[in-house]
Amino acid sequence: MIDPVAVNIGPLQIRWYGVIMATAFLLGIYLAYRRALQNNIDPNHILNMVTLIIPASIIGARLYYVIFAWENYAGNPLEALAIWHGGLAIHGGILGGLLAGLFYVRRYGLPVWKIADIIAPSLILGQAIGRWGNFINQEAHGGPVSEQFISHFPDFIKNQMFIEGSYYHPAFLYESTWDFIVFIILMWRWPRKKTDGEIALLYLVLYSVGRFFIESIRTDSLMLGPFRVAQLVSLALIAAGIAGIMALRKRNQAWAKKR
């Protein structure tokens, strides 16, 4: 098992989970900054916006997780603050970040859909990197698998997926790989997009398709009765994303006819 603590500085522990999440945020910010410059948006807005989006995302991700897994925290509510132990739900993070970003964009009169397109590739890249924090914490994995199956993966993954006497599906790896693929698709699609907002909505659709299927093998799913919450949310986001793309294209066609 990999030691979850990267560095000890006196009484202070710097954990790999935090290092990986910080790396994801920094790379995402750099990408969005560059993309803003290329699209005639003052990049300082990106820097200012992330000072709201990052804490809102973390709070939203943790609050979402704790609400749906309250039975794990009812006996020790203070544990809900220990985000370094893992337990951040990406859908809660997206919601928290979206609300904070929308507040900033509305306040300064920025183009909502263009800003959304700028941020979407950074978001999926951050998710792809962040899943390796789950790997370190031995969470977000799938069900048990045979040693023969897990031996198809590199030894460091095989060893880390050996938990309490059994090997498990490296579901974190499946999602990280899918997220990287979505990132590549979004970057490829950007110069070919028909309208602002298409990249952001395409992100919602593509990420949610992968998450829906990967969630089916996870053993730590948040549940709402007999249903996996992430799958329900994924279906809703797929529908919203497709409807949004169609609506934006129809609006652009209407504008083109008026000209």
Full-model pTM: 0.90
What value does the mean pLDDT of the chain take?
91
Residue 258 has pLDDT above 90, yes or no: no
- Mean pLDDT, rounded, for 146-165: 96
Confidence grade of residue 257 (pLDDT, cut at 50, 70, 90): low
What confidence tens digit (pLDDT) does each residue in 22-80 have? 999 999 999 999 999 999 999 999 999 999 998 999 888 888 888 877 777 777 777 77
Give pLDDT, residue 237: 96
Residue 97 has pLDDT above 90, yes or no: yes
Give pLDDT, residue 256: 64
Confidence grade of residue 236 (pLDDT, cut at 50, 70, 90): very high
Residue 119 has pLDDT above 90, yes or no: yes
Give pLDDT, residue 243: 96
Identify the three-state secondary structure at position 208: helix
Confidence grade of residue 10 (pLDDT, cut at 50, 70, 90): confident
- What CA–CA distance (Å, rounded) separates 212 from 91? 12
Rounded to the nearest 10°, the torsion over CA 234, 204, 202, 25 is -140
Residue 220 has pLDDT above 70, yes or no: yes
Give pLDDT, residue 138: 92
- Go through the chain and tell me how many residues it has: 259
**Closest to 133 measured CA to CA, from 33, 222, 25, 205:** 25
Give pLDDT, residue 70: 75
- Mean pLDDT, rounded, for 196-203: 96
